[in-house]
A = this chain, B = another copy of it.
Amino acid sequence: MSALETIDVKTSTRAEMVDVTALVRAAIRRSKVTSGIACVFCPHTTAAVTMQENSDPTVRSDMVRHLSVVVPREAGSERPGQNSDAHMKASLLGPSVSVIVDGGKPVLGNWQAIYLCEFDGPRERRLLVKIVEG
């Protein structure tokens, strides 16, 4: 049975994508599991986890900006001035990613990184990582 690992991240603006791949890699190493599936889980409702390109940063800035076109602040019409938009963006991207673990490492595509997606920052956020062997 592997321990529950935690990753702490401090975000710096209202909406951004923070690369946590190295921290997930370290959590998997600490777990000593060499083969299985890892659940990288976000216990917050205005932040999410996704995978995206790790090279050109404009991919992320385009994504963060266009998400605000799809879900503008006025999306929360029953709560004007509040953060319903952040909740909806979080559900669209999802609260977790499943990562295949092989040889004690996450199996990712060449251009793939794992991102904490902040939609209502800046805040201190925590991710949880649980790995099941198999």
Chain A residues packing against B (C-beta within 8 Å): 1-2, 4, 33, 35-37, 39, 41, 43-45, 50-53, 56, 58-59, 61-63, 65-67, 69-71, 75-79, 84, 87-88, 90-100, 102, 107-112, 128, 130-134
- Minimal beta-carbon separation of A25 from chain B (angstroms): 16
**With A52-B87, A91-B93 given, is the CB distance from A69 to B65 under 8 Å?**
no
**With A43-B109, A45-B112 given, is the CB distance from A63 to B91 under 8 Å?**
yes
Q: Are B84 and A134 in contact (CB under 8 A)?
A: no
- Minimal beta-carbon separation of A10 from chain B (angstroms): 17
Q: Are A132 and B36 in contact (CB under 8 A)?
A: yes
Chain B residues whose C-beta falls within 8 Å of the C-beta of A61 in the assembled complex? 78
> Interface of chain A, helix or strand or loop or mixed?
mixed
- Minimal beta-carbon separation of A65 from chain B (angstroms): 7
Complexed CA–CA distance, A59 and B36 (Å): 34
Q: Are A51 and B91 in contact (CB under 8 A)?
A: yes
Q: Are B133 and A50 in contact (CB under 8 A)?
A: no
Supply 15 A–B pairs (Cβ within 8 Å), ascending by A.
A36-B134, A37-B39, A37-B132, A41-B99, A43-B108, A43-B112, A44-B111, A58-B79, A59-B79, A62-B79, A62-B87, A63-B87, A66-B77, A94-B94, A132-B132
Complexed CA–CA distance, A23 and B134 (Å): 21
